[in-house]
Amino acid sequence: MTRLDTKDALASLYAEIEGRNPAQPEFHQAVHEVLETLAPVLEARPEYAEAGLIERLCEPERQIIFRVPWQDDRGRVHVNRGFRVEFNSALGPYKGGLRFHPSVNLGIVKFLGFEQVFKNALTGLGIGGGKGGSDFDPRGRSDAEIMRFCQSYMTELYRHIGEHTDVPAGDIGVGTREIGYLFGQYRRITNRWEAGVLTGKGQGWGGSLIRPEATGYGNVLFMAAMLRERGEDLEGQTAVVSGSGNVAIYTMEKLIALGANPVTCSDSGGYVVDDKGIDLELLKQIKEVERGRVSEYAERRGASARFVPNGRVWEVPADIALPSATQNELDGKDAETLIRNGVKAVSEGANMPTTPEAVQLFQSAGVAFGPGKAANAGGVAVSALEMTQNHSRTSWTAARVEEELDRIMRDIHTTCHETAERYGAPGDYVTGANIAGFERVADAMLAQGVI
Ligand code: NDP
Ligand code: 2IT
């Protein structure tokens, strides 16, 4: 087939997938972004198309939707919807986080699960892809309410997961506290100490050192590798970071450690800009200990910081940008602003935070762009190391885990870089990540037959 024929075939496949999965715009966006880059590899390897690989890759192996009833502290009954999409297990057990946020629906879980398949393949660690969550809103809920919700959620989920089957972890709204309640309920129902069934566990009951830090640290390592390609490093770079949760906080911690200066953070209420650089101890106290808002940071920090309600954090001038909150938080207009202000590299801590239009603008302007499925893979990679530690009943030192994380992120960067070059798109990390992830999953699926 010629390039044009392949592109036509992909376009009609995409139209079919869109029609078959109505009202799932985020899933369509994620699929489109991958299919758009696959033409060269499908031409080079016609056996992929013959084996119906794209059709199979875009259809989850299993989709589970369930009722999650729970009682609040006043005894009122609430009903939420729970999801677990087991997308692809060609490379290993389904692996991916759980998101608790009111915006969660099947389309969002499917976009996240689809991305996870390629991301997990890029780690090289033998993990398939899945994602789950609920439209439950944890904001303002007491510990007891969170616990009852998690227990109810796990009362259904437990029958679908297991250390060799499907291994959930955290994502937005799910951290160590929630993983603790989920793990406790799993243990109670199954009467098994099965540490490898969940990752992101606490220290002392099966968790891995550096897992809380891993996504943010890994993203900064990916950013550093992109800068190195351009003959630069992080020293002295001003960074704009969005979000103020797990990924954002440890992104800032690593940026500071490597000599860069993060000057912003945000939440859904607005953003903070701090001329002296973010005071991480204060931010951690407010977000991790008090579970407060970034507006409180500005109130307590003094004259160097101000809170901009409902503002776009991307209007703050910076050398590098690390979106670390949520999908589609950085659009074409934001990209234009960043480019005008001289941004030279963007690396995605969040999943699909940059709209397709913004990605296009960055790439045309020569801004290095690291897509989430490569740049934020450090989190799931250390989850896989947590599973390894659980299987062998050992725990590694922080230094050992960090060393592994460093190696894995360098490998992912090299793989994406070399793959892009091999397929005639030098410097295009989106193409490199998609093709490299695809080849690994596709080869395993080919070998395992039509299932
Ligand atoms: P957290 O729940 O710890 O933090 C989420 C942050 O994003 C908060 O600041 C939150 O603000 C903000 N946010 C969430 N939803 C929205 C929204 N709809 N609009 C505006 N702001 C929003 O989550 P994480 O830090 O774990 O996750 C952040 C991103 O990183 C997500 O895209 C996640 O999928 C991705 N990711 C996470 C990994 C992990 O290991 N945790 C691994 C790889 C990727 P507010 O409190 O106001 O909602
Ligand atoms: O998006 C992600 O990679 C995560 N939320 C982490 C998944 C995991 O299994 O650690």
Q: What is the pLDDT of residues 368-377, one digit of tens each?
A: 999 999 999 9
Contact 352, 30 (CB under 8 A): yes
Over the stretch 372-410, which tens digit does the pLDDT of each residue have? 999 999 999 999 999 999 999 999 999 999 999 999 999
| Residue 351 structure tokens | 């999943």
pLDDT confidence band for 328 (50 / 70 / 90) = very high
How many angstroms separate the CA atoms of 43 and 5, rounded?
10
Fold agreement between 62-194 and 214-370? yes
Q: What is the mean pLDDT of the chain?
A: 98
| Residue 418 structure tokens | 């070399």
Residue 103 Cβ < 6 Å to ligand 1: yes
Over the stretch 66-107, which tens digit does the pLDDT of each residue have? 999 999 999 999 999 999 999 999 999 999 999 999 999 999
* DSSP label at residue 36: T
pLDDT confidence band for 323 (50 / 70 / 90) = very high
How many angstroms separate the CA atoms of 302 and 77, rounded?
43
Residue 92 Cβ < 6 Å to ligand 2: no
Residue 1 has pLDDT above 90, yes or no: no
Residue 199 Cβ < 6 Å to ligand 2: yes
Q: According to the model, what pLDDT value does residue 237 have?
A: 98
Contact 367, 344 (CB under 8 A): yes
If you measure from the C-alpha of residue 42 to the centroid of ligand 2, how many angstroms do you get, rounded to a whole number?
A: 28
Q: According to the model, what pLDDT value does residue 268 have?
A: 97
pLDDT confidence band for 437 (50 / 70 / 90) = very high
CB neighbour list of residue 95: distance below 8 Å, 6 or more residues apart: 116, 120, 127, 128, 129, 130, 166, 167, 169, 380, 383, 384
pLDDT confidence band for 14 (50 / 70 / 90) = very high
Residue 351 Cβ < 6 Å to ligand 2: yes
Burial class (CB in 10 A: 0-12, 13-18, 19+), 353: buried
If you measure from the C-alpha of residue 301 to the centroid of ligand 2, how many angstroms do you get, rounded to a whole number?
A: 32
Residue 338 Cβ < 6 Å to ligand 1: no
Contact 81, 397 (CB under 8 A): no
pLDDT confidence band for 196 (50 / 70 / 90) = very high
Residue 170 Cβ < 6 Å to ligand 1: yes
Range 408-413 average pLDDT: 98
Overall fold of domain 62-194: Rossmann fold (3.40.50)
Q: Which residues are part of the catalytic machinery?
A: 131
Report the nearest-CA residue for atom 4 of ligand 1: 245
Residue 4 has pLDDT above 80, yes or no: no
If you measure from the C-alpha of residue 170 to the centroid of ligand 2, how many angstroms do you get, rounded to a whole number?
A: 6
Over the stretch 264-316, which tens digit does the pLDDT of each residue have? 999 999 999 999 999 999 999 999 999 999 999 999 999 999 999 999 999 99
DSSP-assigned letters across all residues of 141-199: --HHHHHHHHHHHHHHHGGG-BTTTEEEE-BTTB-HHHHHHHHHHHHHHHT---GGGSS
Q: What is the CA radius of gyration of the chain?
A: 21
Q: According to the model, what pLDDT value does residue 5 have?
A: 87
Residue 358 has pLDDT above 70, yes or no: yes
Q: According to the model, what pLDDT value does residue 411 have?
A: 98
Report the nearest-CA residue for atom 13 of ligand 1: 325
Q: How many helices (H) and strands (E) does the chain have?
A: 18, 13
Q: According to the model, what pLDDT value does residue 3 have?
A: 72
Instruction: Choose the residue to mutate in 112, 219, 268 for probing ligand 1, maximizing ligand atoms within 8 Å of C-beta.
Output: 268
Q: Name the CATH superfamily for 214-370.
A: NAD(P)-binding Rossmann-like Domain (3.40.50.720)
Q: According to the model, what pLDDT value does residue 335 have?
A: 98
If you measure from the C-alpha of residue 449 to the centroid of ligand 1, how many angstroms do you get, rounded to a whole number?
A: 37
Q: According to the model, what pLDDT value does residue 299 have?
A: 97
What percentage of the chain carries pLDDT values higher than 90?
Answer: 99
Contact 265, 271 (CB under 8 A): yes
Range 238-251 average pLDDT: 98
Size of the chain in residues: 451
Domain boundaries, the chain: 62-194, 214-370
Ligand nearest to the CA of 96: 2
Ligand nearest to the CA of 348: 1
